[in-house]
Amino acid sequence: MNSILMVCLGNICRSPLAEGILRSKIEKLNLTITVDSAGTSNYHIGQPPDNRTIENAKKHGIDISKLRGRQFQVEDFDKFDIIFAMDASNYTNIIDLARNEKDKNKVEMILNRVNPNSNMAVPDPYYGGEQGFENVFILLDSACEVIAKSLLR
């Protein structure tokens, strides 16, 4: 296992935060694992994360200000060992691009690492208030804690 991709819709709220949180945990564990993020849409290609996400991450000691949005590509199935979707819509959009079973088997709903088989969503915080961003942080921090520990084995 050496590469993980986080995927949401815009790649400016949930997935860059997941990338930042997991990278920070991996660095603390002295592991060398590539972590990246992407969006299924082309809405925010080349843009930094949403300011509310940057501020929320900063509050928790994580700097994601230099990340830039990119769109998920079919080649990501070759580059990454695990592809984490934030919600069922992201999951379906990624699966629709899969070329074979091997590709499909790489895709997981991220919160299933905390609550197996429940297919819970990390709610899209884009149209909501500040509390939505903190809620996303709490959910992603718990999932990334489980993911980081699983990489130690």
The nearest distance, CB 41 to ligand 4NP, in angstroms, is: 7
The nearest distance, CB 139 to ligand 4NP, in angstroms, is: 12
Return d(Cα 3, Cα 29) in angstroms, integer: 15
Q: Which is nearer to ligand 4NP, 82 or 85 (CB)?
A: 85
50 is catalytic: no
**Residue 39: DSSP 8-state:** E
Please calculate the CA angle 89-62-150 and round it to the nearest 5 degrees: 65
Return d(Cα 85, Cα 12) in angstroms, integer: 14
13 is catalytic: no
113 is catalytic: no
Residue 6 dihedral angles phi and psi, to the nearest 5°: -100, 130
Choosing from 13, 14, 36, 52, which is the catalytic residue?
Answer: 14
Residues that bind ligand 4NP (CB under 6 A): 8-14, 39, 43, 124, 126
Choosing from 23, 87, 124, 144, which is the catalytic residue?
Answer: 124
* Positions marked active-site: 8, 14, 124
